Amino acid sequence: MSERWKPSATVAAIIEKDGKFLLVEEHTPEGLRLNNPAGHLDEGESLVHGCAREALEETMHLFTPTYLLGAYMSRLVRPARPGHAAEDITYLRFAFGGELGALQAGRQLDTGIVRTLWLSPDEIRASADRHRSPLIVRCMEDHLRGQRFALELIYTDASVFALQKQ
């Protein structure tokens, strides 16, 4: 192996209100799929900041992570398709719960996001064939059973914020 294996670091917002969870419907190579507001961690940001940013970009709502739900791993093996090589990606997801803030007027949903929707746990379980990630149900179930970890569990050294793209 000539390259070192590196999982893709992602962050996800698990947002529950009045017994329903906020999901996004988005375009993927497999068609329209449901996902938590989530995305890749950007260079120079903490996990908490990345989660707040992704939630805002994908839902147009402010989101303040207040606890770590958990750290999760999943793997996507996507066969080759016209114009694209096969992919084998391992995702390392850091999922957060927190407080949903106000809708930010004048924003647009991130590229590829079609809409946001609120679904009950039963609706989420029943739509598993439309999930972008196998972790949607697991994160929801962990949230429902009260799993919570303090944000102090996560430390981001100041050197991360000093990174400069070269």
**Cβ proximity of 17 and 121 under 8 Å:** no
Question: Is residue 159 one of the residues assigned to a domain?
Answer: no
CATH number at residue 73: 3.90.79.10
Contacts of 142 by beta carbon, 8 Å cutoff, 6+ apart = 69, 70, 95
**Cβ proximity of 93 and 10 under 8 Å:** yes
d(CA 51, CA 32): 22
**Assigned token pair, 141:** 């179930």
Residue with tokens 């039963």, as numbered in its chain: 122
**Domain span holding position 33:** 8-154
Question: Is residue 1 one of the residues assigned to a domain?
Answer: no
Residue with tokens 């995305």, as numbered in its chain: 39
Q: What is the pLDDT of residues 44-78, one digit of tens each?
A: 999 999 999 999 999 999 999 999 999 999 999 98
Q: How many domains does the chain contain in total?
A: 1
Question: Is residue 126 one of the residues assigned to a domain?
Answer: yes
Please tell me the pTM assigned to this model: 0.92
Question: Is residue 136 one of the residues assigned to a domain?
Answer: yes
Question: Is residue 113 one of the residues assigned to a domain?
Answer: yes
Question: Is residue 20 one of the residues assigned to a domain?
Answer: yes
Q: What is the pLDDT of residues 111-142, one digit of tens each?
A: 999 999 999 999 999 999 999 999 999 999 99
Question: Is residue 17 one of the residues assigned to a domain?
Answer: yes
Question: Is residue 163 one of the residues assigned to a domain?
Answer: no
